[in-house]
Amino acid sequence: MSVLIPARFPSVDLAAAVVGRPVGYGWIDTIGAALAFLQGRIKHVVCAADYLSRAHGARRFLYTPSRGARVLVVVIGLHESADATTTQTVTLALSSATLLTGAPLDGSAAVACPTARFRTPQQYVALFDVSKLVVGTLYELVVTSAAGAGTSYGVRRVAAYEVPRDATNAPGDPANEPGINPAFGQPGTNLYAGSVSTSGDVAAGMERVLGQLDDARATTRRFVVNLASVEDTTNAWSLASTSGSYLDLGTPYLRTRAKRLYAAAAAGNTLQARIRYALNGTTATLRFKSSAGTTYDLALANTGGAWTGVTGTVKLDTNLGAGSNAQEDYWTISANVGGAGKVLYVSAIAAVDNES
Amino acid sequence: MPRDTLASGSNARYIRHVAGGAGTLLGNGFPMDAGTGMVLASNAVHLRNESLRHVICSGGPGAIVANKDGWSDLAEDTPPAAVRTSTLAQIAWGYSTAACFGPFPIGQDNAFLAVGADDLARSVHVSVTCKSDGTHALTIYFAVTDRYQPPTAGAVAFETATTTSSSFVEVRSSGLTVRGQPTPYPTGVAGDPGGGVASVPEYYVWVGWLLAAGGTGAVRGFTGWEIDG
């Protein structure tokens, strides 16, 4: 039996509760519906980019699923070409996930490119089954294009988001489904604390509320930066070594807005950064510098020219003001590359909220 | 209104509690008191307030061509000059003059709209990093459409902003109203209402640019996120 997830966030009136009195079932039921809404309806928007580099190759976007995510929508737009007969192939891949839609975005068929003198809307949509992916694990959504007939220029825009849920399929399964099973409480009675070993009675409801709050705190709105270029030494961002100074990689537009969970400046706003890069015969340090000047460094090892991913922790400044611009910050990304004549190549930059 | 928290403004926060499954908040068999319930409810509302999603993160085209509205690039349905009098039609919104982002699913819980309103969609805020040459105006066009079509074919929201700065600055939209056409997608759950198909209202964000004749300038990047109100 499925349980409906409300289409809107339910109103929670604190004035209805009197301190010192027991809380009734209806109160917890409302909180459960609110959490189901947050985790079931407000799914991740993973990325949306236009004006990607005008070339063929692989682009790697970071993806980590939200609680209860089942289907990921990926929308692709192509760079325009000289005429309507030009084609290319596009192959989507996401480890541990199944591509539900087949051709053409499985790379098995050519897709037509939009022509330069037309603006007729043209986009391609693919769906992934992401139900087997693990919450908290980082995956890569790889978008690879290759030339077909004529002269084509690759993928221009990519957008991806998780399909919102109308209902939970197994509301008694705390590990996989959002919200709280209404059967865990009883109308007209109080909600009692207790062990999950008494699953299904009013006692387990309390554990479920706390667990769902923990989940929502950690997994709601995780993506703050997700940008990828073609992974080759021609199209990726690059930076040649200098005498020990940090140089701008040309990305001051990594503006974002942090999730503000706690009042204390020292807590929260920790993010996990993921970089795809290549180095040959040297090491480098990649530096994230927040608007207030705080720096966070990622050490990049010598990869012998191969492309690899590195993950590290960065932070945004906290208490950045109130109002519609609250919690805004931006990073300047720079790097120090060792060894004369050595070059650092960076093909993807991503950051996700890392609250746990 | 879904904004009832124990503190507001800069004091708003998530109040830590014991982890789920710890079983130590209350003893077995005891009822949960209203104070504890209020903390949990406040936390749920605070998480809603902080769940506004980052939707756009993209580089831009770089250097842009002055006085290029894009209409002459098109071989299709180019309206006569007399028709292109509105601000919305100052650019063609084609590949040389605009970027398109999306689709995005609408979040139906804008806390600043009245309870009972038919449309509670969160608005979207867009920021563009760009520059001109200190003299010539660079106009940035912001638009939202409820389907994948150029804004000239129907925009839900539209506004412009201008800069002449010779160094990179941030040009912002206000909160752009969104509205979307329902698009069917499988939910992956066989027991869901509607046979496992969700009707997701989607919207698109468009950003265009027009640099005054004789100028030099660049558009370096785009950022966007959901906001209340």
The pLDDT value recorded for residue A199 is 39
Are residues A169 and B190, on separate chains, in Cβ contact within 8 Å? yes
Q: Residue B8 carries which side chain, given as an amino acid letter?
A: S
How far apart (Å, rounded) are the C-alpha atoms in residues A309 and B228? 35
The reported pLDDT for the residue numbered B109 is 82
Among A12, A120, A167, select the one facing B45 at the smallest CB separation.
Answer: A12
How high is the pLDDT of residue B206?
97
**Is residue B85 pLDDT above 70, yes or no?**
yes
Is B48–A34 a contact, with Cβ atoms under 8 angstroms apart? yes
Region of B51 (left: φ > 0; alpha: ψ -120 to 50; beta: rest) is alpha
Contact residues, B window 122-151, toward A, CB-based 8 Å cutoff: 125, 127, 129, 148-150
Residues 15-74 of chain A whose Cβ lies under 8 A from any Cβ of chain B: 15, 17-23, 27-28, 30-31, 34-35, 37-38, 41-45, 47-52, 70-71, 73
> Token pair for residue A278?
């290549």
pTM of the model: 0.92
In sequence order, what are the residues at sequence separation of 6 or more whose Cβ sits closer than 8 angstroms to the Cβ of residue B117?
Answer: none
- Quick check: B149 pLDDT over 70? yes
The whole-number mean pLDDT for each consecutive block of 10 residues of chain A, a chain of 356 residues, reads 79 73 74 87 93 91 91 94 89 95 93 75 90 90 95 94 85 67 55 42 61 84 87 91 76 72 60 91 89 84 96 70 60 86 92 79
Model confidence pLDDT, tens digit, residues B172-201: 999 899 999 899 998 876 656 666 788 899
Interface ipTM > 0.95: no
- Residue ranges of A 326-355 with Cβ closer than 8 A to chain B: none
Q: For residue A325, give every residue at least 6 positions away whose Cβ sits within 8 Å of its Cβ, in sequence order, or none.
A: none
Residues in chain B, how many? 229
Residue A274's closest CA among A234, A315, A314?
A: A314
Chain B contact for A319, CB < 8 A? Answer: yes
Q: How far apart are CA A332 and CA A250, in angstroms?
A: 8
CB-based burial label for B63 (10 Å; 0-12, 13-18, 19+): exposed
Residue type at position A326:
A
Any B CB within 8 A of A6 CB: no
Per-residue H/E/C for A130-158: CCCCCCCCCEEEEEEEEECCCCCCCEEEE
**CA A278 to CA A286: how far, in whole Å?**
12
With bands split at pLDDT 50, 70 and 90, how would you rate the model's confidence at B77? Answer: low
CA distances from A253 to A241, B59, B124, B156 (A): 23, 8, 18, 26
Residue that has been written with the tokens 């109130």 in this structure: A322
CB atoms within 10 A of CB A199: 15
- For residues A128 and A101, give the distance between their C-alpha atoms in angstroms, rounded to a whole number: 7
Residue from the list A2, A42, A193 with its beta carbon closest to the beta carbon of B51: A42
**Shortest alpha-carbon distance between residue B48 and chain A (Å):** 7
